[in-house]
Amino acid sequence: MNKRDRAIIIGKELARLYKNPKPPLDFSNPFTLLIAVLLSAQCTDERVNIVTKKLFKEARTPKKMAALGQDQIFFFIKTCGLAPKKSKAILETSNILIKKFNSKVPQSIEELVTLPGVGHKTASVVLNQAFGQASFAVDTHIHRLAQRWKLTNGKNVMQTEKDLKKLFPKEKWGDLHLQIIFYGREFCEARKCYGLDCFLCKTLFPNRNSKVITNKA
């Protein structure tokens, strides 16, 4: 079975399990999505949604967020990991959006990654979920599973992203981003499956008998 054969099996199984997957983060516009994804680093989606429920009642636009100030932003997000760093990034990002982008979230990766706290993955998520652009954001779950399923050599997330884009149809990238994350959390966890126990790992590699050691993102 080659990579493309495995990709077909994976795509069909994920589509069966997670039909029309919905983003796990709550947001109402591109700006609130950007802030929610920024907050999700080293923090669970559930915690982010709890935090942003109150934060977004106060500030759903860059101008209102900037008006809160860093101390107030920190007050709302303090239960998230890296809260001091994130509160500073949120304030700086809000101010840049106001001054440079007329309070609009830019619609290109090149511009998005210039914002404090926004990396390639965050930018890819925003482009897909807020603007409907085809992108395949790769996080640690996707990076790990792509290695377990031998869809990539796993050198880094950028290489994993390139490899996955070659294997799956462009129109499926957005759904697959969510589907693989959901599958990894539910069936193929980092410290449980190790490429041996979940349905897809056993189906794709029935003769595998040793743990898969994955390269970190």
Q: Residues 21-77: pLDDT tens digits? A: 999 999 999 999 999 999 999 899 999 999 999 999 999 999 999 999 999 999 999
Q: pLDDT per residue over 115-167, tens digit each?
A: 999 999 999 999 999 999 999 999 888 999 999 999 998 788 999 999 999 99
| Distance in angstroms (rounded) separating the CA atoms of residues 73 and 158 | 31
For the chain, what is the domain count? 2
Domain ends where: 131, 162, 178?
A: 131
Three-state DSSP string of the chain: CCHHHHHHHHHHHHHHHCCCCCCCCCCCCHHHHHHHHHHCCCCCHHHHHHHHHHHHHHCCCHHHHHHHHHHHHHHHHCCCCCHHHHHHHHHHHHHHHHHHHCCCCCCCHHHHCCCCCCCHHHHHHHHHHHHCCCCCCCCHHHHHHHHHCCCCCCCCHHHHHHHHHHHCCHHHHHHHHHHHHHHHHHCCCCCCCCCCCCHHHHHHCCCCCCCCCCCCC
Domain match, 47 and 122 both: yes
What pLDDT score does 154 carry? 79
pLDDT at residue 214 is higher than 90: no
Domain match, 55 and 126 both: yes
Instruction: Indicate if 88 belongs to the active site.
Output: no
Give the N- to C-terminal CA distance of the chain in Å, as an integer. 26
| Distance in angstroms (rounded) separating the CA atoms of residues 48 and 51 | 5
Q: pLDDT per residue over 74-104, tens digit each?
A: 999 999 989 999 999 999 999 999 999 999 9
Domain match, 167 and 83 both: no
Instruction: Indicate if 121 belongs to the active site.
Output: yes
Domain membership of residue 211 (yes or no) is no
Domain ends where: 131, 146, 162?
A: 131
What pLDDT score does 217 carry? 67
Domain match, 120 and 165 both: no
Domain span at residue 171 reads 3-21+136-204
- pLDDT bin (cut points 50, 70, 90) of residue 20 is very high
Domain membership of residue 212 (yes or no) is no
Domain membership of residue 182 (yes or no) is yes
Given 86, 121, 163, 175, which residue is catalytic?
Answer: 121
Domain match, 70 and 120 both: yes
Given 86, 139, 163, 175, which residue is catalytic?
Answer: 139
Domain match, 35 and 105 both: yes
Domain ends where: 84, 104, 131?
A: 131
What pLDDT score does 59 carry? 98
